[in-house]
């Protein structure tokens, strides 16, 4: 498989990003593709926070939450999806599919033998990640859910369709500009850090593909997993949950999150973040502290 690897120099001197890179290139089914992940805290900790990013971000998105989780004594792991961040980037758009990503993260969890996982998700981190608890109920015990959904074959609405069309019309997406527009609290340097993994358009196949992969019709790949996840989370989920909602999200804001809250069994009242946007991790430190307090982890 033809893939690209972003030069390490692109990741030097990023603001608030002092985490050493970790890599694995032996995942079953992904031979010779190298997956990057942040791995902080004790390796033998009794709790693991697995933080899954979405599009067009990478593990840098979790820089405000990682230290809060780690300070509680937990192990904190934030991988980059293939095609994103410091992970390898297959160059063909057709490589990327729902199952390509889902099978990778399952192989990743198994390879690292992660247990007692708190799944921390947003955007595609949730579209993929929320299909994992029913497949790994003995490993995933808690959910921290932010501005995401479960895609069961229906369009989220005009806002999403407009975004999908914009993404399709801009194959060389200006990621720094997008992040600054969506998250005005970012400095210019932070916005550029989100663009660091992508020296040119040839590195952006994964970024291009995610919006088209959202399951907006019932025949699309992944709908079966999403429907199984919805049924499991509604009727059989026995773990703990915590939800935070960024109110400035034009697509996955309060209405979408109210629905998601209603289908996660025993989910407590959500934490509302009135100023928070779609990339809610940028307001993440107090959210992480609130979740830890709710669970009695600190």
Angstrom distance (rounded) from CA 89 to CA 205: 8
Do the bridges between strand 240-246 and strand 117-122 make them parallel or antiparallel, or are there none, so unpaired? unpaired
Is 191 exposed, middle or buried (CB count within 10 Å of its CB: 0-12, 13-18, 19+)?
Answer: buried
Positions annotated as catalytic residues are: 123, 249, 278
Sign of the alpha-carbon torsion through 285, 290, 292, 293: positive
Q: How far apart, in Å, are the Cα atoms of 207 and each of 6, 85, 93, 113, 252?
A: 14, 10, 9, 28, 19
β 117-122/48-52 pair status: parallel
Hey, how many other C-beta atoms are within 10 angstroms of the C-beta on 120? Answer: 31
* CA atoms of 121 and 132, how far apart (whole Å): 11
- Which position has the token pair 């916005």? 191
The closest alpha carbon to 279, from 109, 99, 61, 132, belongs to: 61
């Amino acid at each position: 498989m033809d893939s690209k690897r972003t030069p390490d120099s692109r990741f030097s001197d990023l603001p608030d990003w002092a985490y050493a890179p970790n890599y694995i290139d032996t995942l079953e089914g992904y031979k010779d593709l190298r997956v990057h992940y942040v791995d902080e805290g004790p390796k033998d900790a009794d709790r693991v926070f697995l933080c899954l990013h979405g599009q067009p971000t990478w593990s840098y998105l979790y820089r405000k939450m990682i230290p809060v989780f780690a300070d509680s004594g937990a192990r904190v792991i934030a991988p980059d999806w293939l095609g994103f961040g410091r992970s390898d980037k297959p160059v063909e758009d057709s490589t990327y599919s729902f199952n390509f990503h889902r099978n990778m993260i399952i192989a990743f969890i198994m390879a690292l033998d992660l247990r007692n996982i708190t799944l921390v998700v947003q955007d595609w981190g949730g579209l993929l990640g929320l299909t994992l608890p029913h497949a790994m109920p003995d490993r995933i015990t808690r959910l921290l859910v932010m501005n995401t959904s479960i895609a069961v074959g229906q369009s989220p609405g005009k806002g999403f369709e407009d975004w999908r069309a914009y993404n399709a019309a801009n194959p060389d997406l200006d990621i720094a500009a997008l992040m600054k527009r969506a998250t005005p609290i970012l400095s210019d340097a932070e916005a550029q850090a989100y663009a660091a993994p992508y020296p040119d358009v040839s590195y952006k196949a994964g970024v291009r593909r995610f919006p088209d992969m959202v399951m907006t019709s019932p025949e699309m790949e992944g709908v079966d997993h999403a429907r199984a996840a919805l049924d499991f989370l509604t009727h059989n989920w026995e773990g703990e949950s915590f939800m935070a909602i960024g109110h400035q999200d034009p697509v996955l804001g309060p209405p979408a999150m109210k629905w998601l809250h209603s289908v996660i069994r025993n989910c407590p009242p959500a934490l509302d973040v009135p100023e928070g946007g779609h990339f809610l991790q940028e307001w993440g430190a107090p959210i992480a502290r609130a979740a830890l307090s709710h669970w009695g982890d600190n």
